[in-house]
Amino acid sequence: MDIPVKIADGIAIAAIPVDELDAGNADEFKRDIGPVLQAHSKIIFDLTRLTFIDSSGLGAMLSSLRQLSARGGDLKLCGMSKQVRDLFELVRMHRIFDIYAACQEAVKAFQAK
Amino acid sequence: MDGAKIFSRYLSAILGIAAVIAICVLLRVHLNETAVAFAVALVVILVTALILALMGANQRLRLALEREAEIGFRIQQMLLLDPPPHDVPGIKIAAMSMPSQRIDGDFYIFIRHSAECLDVIVGDVMGKGVPAALVGAATKSHFLRALIELMAASEDGLIPQPKDIVMTAHASLARRLIELDSFVTLIYARFERRQCVAQLVDCGHTGMIRWRAKTKSCEWLRGDNLPLGVRENEIYEQVDAAFDPGDLLLFYSDGITEARAPSGELFGVDRLENFISSHAGLDPDDLVQAIRAAVAEFSQDERLSDDLTSVALRIEEKTVPLLHSEMEIDSDLKNLHRTREFVREFCRKLPSEWIAGECVGGMELAVNEAASNIMKHAYRGRPHEWIHLEADAYPAEVVMRLTHFGEPFSPAAAEPPRFDGSRESGFGTYIINKCVDQVRYYRDEHGRNCVELKKFRKPVT
């Protein structure tokens, strides 16, 4: 999948280009986000377009977080819909990820450091 | 070598020696002590050898018979005793059969014509052992053939009446049973769930016991038809009986009522009736096991003299579904979005406020995870396998069922998820359990694996 990345102030904002991230496209996402994870250390996933995510999609997010953390980088999430947020809370991943409602807040959080 | 041959050979040897001794005595041949002692010793040795050889032959025979009986028992369980269907809406069914000599002619058949119409046939062939089982198997196939022939001939598409099915099956069976000197007692019961009516054709069987929820007491339903194989042109008559939700119905073989205590007392119909009345709250599965335990305790004998068979049904409050929908997909992960659309579409068709918004989202996620598990694990990623999805809405609950031919899932084998972010997988089962109120993994009567997800309806304020 083609993942558009905007870079501002050393922070990479990757907009997830699909409405639904499930077991059918999670592997594709993991593959295509790989280069982005390699190239930057401050990354924000903009989930504004995402209306549905399942355990596989969640696993792909976790995989991204762990890859980035292993290299000393950091990942933040923003623009979550209610349904997506509900799943994160159901499996307690809202404690593992930094989640912001608006993407501007995520950018500010990176700049504040 | 069988016992008879061994016996005759040794006996000839012993008689031969005895004859020699007799001749010697008659001819007054002087036998010195050594010779006599020798002859006696020889006889003793031969007798001992004979006994040991007979015992060995008996042992081998016994083992061979046991092995054959074991095979016969398994054949009976697989072919004569249908597993009762588990997902008939509104009816819970359980069945149990314990043959007395490892195999006999008891059989039961379950035929589901539709969600509302179920046929139950319970039969008992006179006699025991493999011959009775063979007659049972033949009887079963004659009934199925009669059903097929009558359905094919039906002009208006209606399901043939039980009495017609029995008469058609009997027409082809009767002569053969008479020639074999065998007969079959049988009860054919059709349950019409929507009209709450049972149609019974009782062919010399023990009848049916009904525990009525309204009166909290037992009643008997019997017909007076002859068993099959007694009179060739017998007309079989049908009896109608109404039932209500909460009622418990029991078919049983006379092995139960004719079981004897060590004192000689019979278990009897009264005791069975009282037992059912006092255990009427049990699930059918537990009831049939409890009956078996009660008979075993009563007769104080693990080895039964006659076979025990019982089939129990409970009519449940559940009515026919308000809404039903189904779909089939290939096990390709790209089809997951179709399962979600299916759930959303189904819930959209329900009356507004039937199921709260976030419950729909939860159900959608649960079905998605269940389907994903089937595709990835049950079918190991093979994309062209069959998955069937079914949705039913009842007054008290919404049920989603996924059926597949892949490997069954064992919830106990699933590792618990890790919430510290250290593992990417393992959330699927946890999510399912959290999003719906009840999850059941089972095998249906066709041998297919099923995942059933239930969400109970809470009254919306």
Domain range list for chain A: 5-107
**Model confidence over B3-43: pLDDT tens digits?**
677 777 777 787 887 787 777 777 766 667 777 778 788 88
| CA of B437 vs chain A CAs: smallest distance (Å) | 15
d(CA A75, CA A45): 7
Q: Which residues in B lie closer than 8 A to residue A96 (C-beta atoms)?
A: 419-421
Residue A69 sits at the chain B interface (C-beta within 8 Å): no
CB contact under 8 A, A55 and B431: yes
Nearest partner of B392 among B84, B89, B93, judged by Cα? B89
Residue B335 sits at the chain A interface (C-beta within 8 Å): yes
ipTM: 0.94
B46's CB contacts (< 8 A; 6+ apart) are B10, B13, B14, B17
Q: Phi/psi class of residue B3: alpha, beta or left (left: φ > 0; alpha: ψ in -120 to 50)?
A: alpha
Q: Which residues in B lie closer than 8 A to residue A63 (C-beta atoms)?
A: 424
> Between A23, A66, A91, which is nearest B417 by CB?
A91
Residue A24 sits at the chain B interface (C-beta within 8 Å): yes
CB contact under 8 A, A22 and B337: yes
Residue B212 sits at the chain A interface (C-beta within 8 Å): no
Between the ranges A36-50, B88-102, B432-446, where is the mean pLDDT highest? Answer: A36-50
Instruction: Check residue B304 and give its pLDDT.
Output: 63
Query: Which of A54, A65, A68, A96 best tests the B interface by mutation, with the highest count of B CBs <10 A?
Result: A54
B418's CB contacts (< 8 A; 6+ apart) are B426
> Between B337, B421, B431, which is nearest A24 by CB?
B337
Residue A28 sits at the chain B interface (C-beta within 8 Å): no
CB contact under 8 A, B431 and A52: no
Based on its alpha-carbon atoms, the radius of gyration of chain B, rounded to whole angstroms, reads 31
Question: What length does chain B have?
Answer: 461
CB contact under 8 A, B334 and A24: yes
CB contact under 8 A, B424 and A83: no
Residue A18 sits at the chain B interface (C-beta within 8 Å): no
Sign of CA dihedral B93, B84, B290, B135: positive
- The pair of structure tokens assigned to B384 is 């062209």
Give SS3 for A48: coil
Where would I find the H helices in chain A? 26-39, 55-70, 82-90, 103-112
pLDDT bin (cut points 50, 70, 90) of residue B250 is very high
The per-residue b/e assignment along B329-365, b for 16 or more CB within 10 angstroms, e otherwise, is bbbbbeebbebbebbeebbeebeeebbeeebbbbbbb
CB contact under 8 A, B421 and A60: no
Q: Is a pLDDT exceeding 90 seen at residue B105? A: no
The correct CATH number of A5-107 out of 3.40.50.300, 3.30.1540.20, 3.30.750.24, 3.30.420.40 is 3.30.750.24
Q: Which helix (H) or strand (E) holds B184?
A: strand B184-192
pLDDT above 70 as % of chain B: 96
B70's CB contacts (< 8 A; 6+ apart) are B102
The whole model's pTM is what? 0.62
Query: Which of A22, A66, A75, A94 best tests the B interface by mutation, with the highest count of B CBs <10 A?
Result: A22
Residue type for A40, please? H
Q: Is a pLDDT exceeding 60 seen at residue B1? A: no
